[in-house]
Amino acid sequence: MIYGYRNRKRTQSEVCTVFNGIYPHTPVSQGTVCQLIKKFRETGNVKDVKRTGRPKSATSEEKALNVLLTIEETPQVSTREVADNLEISHSTTARSK
């Protein structure tokens, strides 16, 4: 297949080589180039579609910090109580401690 790039026709391999030359810290494979071309042909762009499912409620760092602060304030509290109070799983609380 041949693709246009700056008024010049290039193969998938050439597109990959040009991209990797410009962005050496984030190289892509020919397979990635192929997938992006296919996606563009099907949807008209290469943006990711919005994903379904439950959004993350907090980052792991936030959870860990909340657990540590709670335990620091009341050292005698159990990990189950911390989990219940912060509305996170017991296993998350135990890992953070």
Q: How is the chain split into domains, by residue range?
A: 2-43, 60-96
- How many Å from the N-terminal Cα to the C-terminal Cα in the chain? 55
Give the confidence band of 59 by pLDDT, cuts at 50, 70, 90: low
CA distance 9 to 58: 46
Give the confidence band of 96 by pLDDT, cuts at 50, 70, 90: low
Is 70 exposed, middle or buried, given 0-12, 13-18 or 19+ CB atoms closer than 10 A? buried
Beta strands in the chain (DSSP E): 2-5, 8-11
